[in-house]
Amino acid sequence: PMSFLFPLCFSRAGEIIGGHQAVPHSRPYMAIIERELPSKKASFCDGFLLNKEFVMTAAHCQARSYKVFLGVHNFHHRNGVQEISSEEAYIHGNFINTDTVFKNDIMLIKLPTKAIFNKGVQPIDLPDPGSLSRPKSCLVSGWGKTSLTAKHQSGVLMEVNVTVTDRQCPMEHSYSRNHCILSPYLQGDSGGPLVCEDGKAYGVVSAFFTPHSGDPSINIFTKISDYASWINSTMKHHGMVN
């Protein structure tokens, strides 16, 4: 399956630099995922709600257990926020963590308690699996760092607009077959969605790297439509959505 690649200015996955604060609850699909690691320390990824039972995120966000927070704008204000603990996650069977990039970096977290939809909690649609259209105008949102010198993540949801252009991938990006989708800049949060002009989630924020050529750093997204069969079969087998 193919990934999206984006040049990126002075940023890394896990940061929203040069963006702006989102209108509260304007991205009701967004989720904060608190991960319990073997060290017992907690760390965070972003994710997004697909339906009442499943949240999508990046496979490199895997952990021993998860707390999923829905309906969040300011993470320090929990009034009305749904907190759901889960130990049930499904990582793509071909996920690979190499020295340079994650491959097949996609994961579903099953919510044992169904999400309750309201103004601040709503699912997001995915693109049709057979769609040949490529997104042009997209947006990434998350609770990542807001500056290069920041020591902590943002307490409020931030977002950044991305203008996407379609170019041929250079050879050094050959792990992404055929075409990749490139943008002049992008700053994103691990596990969060790339949401485009039709309001659907096209990608999952995965990783970044800096080419040896000295070109701008590249941000990589898992291309969701390539995993439609896996997503649908996983949710059908493990879920009870109705």
* Residues with catalytic function: 60, 105, 190
Let me know: does 6 contact 183? Beta carbons within 8 Å. Answer: yes
Mapped onto helix, strand or coil, the DSSP state of residue 58 is coil
Backbone angles phi, psi at 115, to 5 degrees: -65, 145
Return d(Cα 166, Cα 5) in angstroms, integer.
Answer: 10
| Helices within the chain (DSSP H only) | 228-238
- List, in sequence order, every beta strand (DSSP E) within the chain: 3-8, 20-21, 30-36, 42-49, 54-57, 65-70, 82-86, 89-91, 96-97, 102-103, 107-110, 137-142, 158-163, 165-168, 179-182, 193-196, 201-209, 217-223
Let me know: does 155 contact 146? Beta carbons within 8 Å. Answer: no
**Among all chains, which residue has been given the structure tokens 């071909």?**
94
